Amino acid sequence: MANLADLVHAAQAGDEAAFRTLLEREARWAFGVAVAVAGSNAEADDVFQEATLRAWRDLPRLRDPEMWSAWFRRIVTNSAVDIARKTRRSSLAMPIRGNDVPDVAHAVEATDGMRRALDRLAPDERALLVLRYGRDLELPAVANLMGIRLGTAKSRLHRTLHKLRRILETEP
C-alpha cells in the first residue's frame, strides 16, 4: 500500500485510483459526520458527493500531503453544514451509549427528545456538537475543521450548549 504522500501526489497528478484510495480512507468518518449534520443517508450521500467534487477540484492546491485528512474533513464538514442549511431539515444521529439509559422505553424517549431539540439548532451548531461530542474531538481540532478560531469555537460551543439546554427544558 502506498504511503499518504505518494497517494496525494499521484491524485494531484490526476490519478483517479489514488484519489479513490484517499477517499476510502476517510469515507466512514465523513459519512458519519454527514449523516449527523445533514440528517439522512440521502443527504449524507449529497454531502460526500459535494465534498468529493470540491476535493478533486481543489486538490492541486493542497501543499502538504500529510494534511490530506484534516483538509478533506474540513471540506466534508463545510459541505454538510451547507447542505443542511439548504434542506432546512436534519436529525442528529448521536448514539446513546449502552449503560447511559436504564431501559429501552426511556432510551427511545430520550433519543427522540434529543433529536427534536437538535433539529431546532442551526446546522453549524449541530456540526459543532457532532464534532466535539459525537466524534470526541478536542476543541482545537473542531475549530480547525470548521475553519474558525479556537476562541470562537469555545464561545459558540458555550452558547450552543446553553441553547440546547433551554430547548430541552421547554420540550414536552
> Rounded to whole angstroms, what are the CA distances from 155 to 36, 48, 75, 121, 162?
22, 29, 22, 16, 11
C-alpha grid cell, residue 110: 430520550
Q: What are the extents of the domains in the chain?
A: 4-170
DSSP-derived 3-state class of residue 91? coil
Show the CA angle centred on residue 19, arms to residues 14 and 20, nearest 5°: 135
User: How far is Cα 162 from Cα 18, in angstroms, rounded to an integer?
Assistant: 44
37, containing H or E segment: helix 16-38
Q: What is the pTM of this model?
A: 0.73
Region 4-170: CATH code:
1.20.140
Which parts of the chain register pLDDT below 50? 89-109
What are the pLDDT digits (tens) for 90-107?
344 444 333 333 343 444
C-alpha grid cell, residue 116: 427534536
